[in-house]
Structure 1
Amino acid sequence: MRIGIAGTGGIGYASAAWLAHAGHDVQVWSPRGEGATALRHEPLRSEGVLEASVRVRVAASAEALARDAEVLLIAVPLNGHKRVMDSMLPHLRSGQSIVVSSMASLSSLYLFEQALIRGIDVTVASFGTTVLTARRTGAAQVRVMTRRSELDVSALPRARESEALALCRELFGDLFVAQDNCLASALTNINPVAHGALAVFNWTRIERAENWPQYHYMTPQVARAITTIDAERLALARAFGLQVRTIEEHFAKSFGTGSATLADIAAELHAKRGGPPGPTDTGTRFLAEDMPYGLAFCEVLGDMAGVPMPATHTMVRTASLILGRDLAAENEFVDALALRKESTRGLLARVDR
Structure 2
Amino acid sequence: MQVTIVGAGAIALGYAAYLIQNGHKPKVWSPSGARTADFVTGLPLHVKGAVEGEFYLEVCGKAEDVGDADVIILALPAYGYRFVLDSIIPHIRAHHSVIISAHLSFAALYISQRLAARGLVIPIAAWSTTVLTCKTQSARAITVRTIRAKVDMAAFPTRHIHRIHTTCVSLFGDRFALKDDMLTLTLSNINPQDHMGIALANLTRIEKGESWSQNSNLTPTVGRLLEALDQERLTIAAAFGKSVRTTFDHCRLSFGVVGDSLSAISEQLVRQGSDPLGPTDIATRYVLEDVPFGLVPTLRLAELAGVRAPLHEGGVVILGACYGRDFVADNDILPEIGPLQIDTLKRLVVDGYAVPT
For normalisation by structure 1, the TM-score amounts to: 0.95
Partner of 2:264: 264
What is the SS of the residue equivalent to 1:110? helix
Note if 1:351 corresponds to 2:352. no
TM-superposed deviation, 1:298: 0.9
Q: 1:224 & 1:57 partners in 2: Cα distance?
A: 47
Letter in 2 for 1:256: G
Q: 1:80 & 1:347 partners in 2: Cα distance?
A: 24
Contact 1:196-1:291 within 8 A present in 2 as well: yes
Q: 2:277 & 2:156 partners in 1: Cα distance?
A: 36
Residues 32-43 of structure 1 mapped to structure 2, 5 A cutoff: 32-40=32-40, 41-43=42-44
TM-superposed deviation, 1:244: 1.8
Q: Please list every run of 5 or more consecutive structure 2 residues that lacks an aligned counterpart in the other structure.
A: 352-357
Residues 41-190 of structure 1 mapped to structure 2, 5 A cutoff: 41-66=42-67, 68-190=68-190
Partner of 2:355: none
Q: 2:97 & 2:340 partners in 1: Cα distance?
A: 27
Contact 2:44-2:54 within 8 A present in 1 as well: yes
Partner of 1:295: 295
TM-superposed deviation, 1:253: 2.5
Q: 2:313 & 2:222 partners in 1: Cα distance?
A: 16
TM-superposed deviation, 1:256: 3.2
TM-superposed deviation, 1:330: 1.0
Partner of 1:286: 286
Letter in 2 for 1:82: R
Deviates more, 1:31-40 or 1:154-163: 31-40
Letter in 1 for 2:207: E
Partner of 1:304: 304
Contact 1:257-1:265 within 8 A present in 2 as well: yes
Note if 1:228 corresponds to 2:234. no
What is the SS of the residue equivalent to 2:238? helix
TM-superposed deviation, 1:257: 2.9
Letter in 1 for 2:268: E
Q: CA RMSD in A?
A: 1.4
Partner of 2:29: 29
Q: Deviations over 1:289-312 (max 9, x none)?
A: 111111121111111110110111
TM-superposed deviation, 1:260: 4.8
Letter in 1 for 2:65: A
Letter in 1 for 2:79: N
Matched residue pairs, number? 350
TM-superposed deviation, 1:236: 1.1
Partner of 1:342: 340
Letter in 2 for 1:57: E
Partner of 1:239: 239
Q: 2:199 & 2:331 partners in 1: Cα distance?
A: 19
What is the SS of the residue equivalent to 2:103? coil
Q: 1:259 & 1:42 partners in 2: Cα distance?
A: 48
TM-superposed deviation, 1:206: 0.8
Q: Deviations over 1:155-183 (max 9, x none)?
A: 11111101111111111111112111112
Contact 1:95-1:121 within 8 A present in 2 as well: no
Letter in 1 for 2:146: T
Q: 2:271 & 2:133 partners in 1: Cα distance?
A: 19
TM-superposed deviation, 1:273: 3.9
Q: 1:175 & 1:72 partners in 2: Cα distance?
A: 19
Letter in 1 for 2:51: L
Q: 2:254 & 2:301 partners in 1: Cα distance?
A: 26
Q: Please list every run of 5 or more consecutive structure 1 residues that lacks an aligned counterpart in the other structure.
A: none
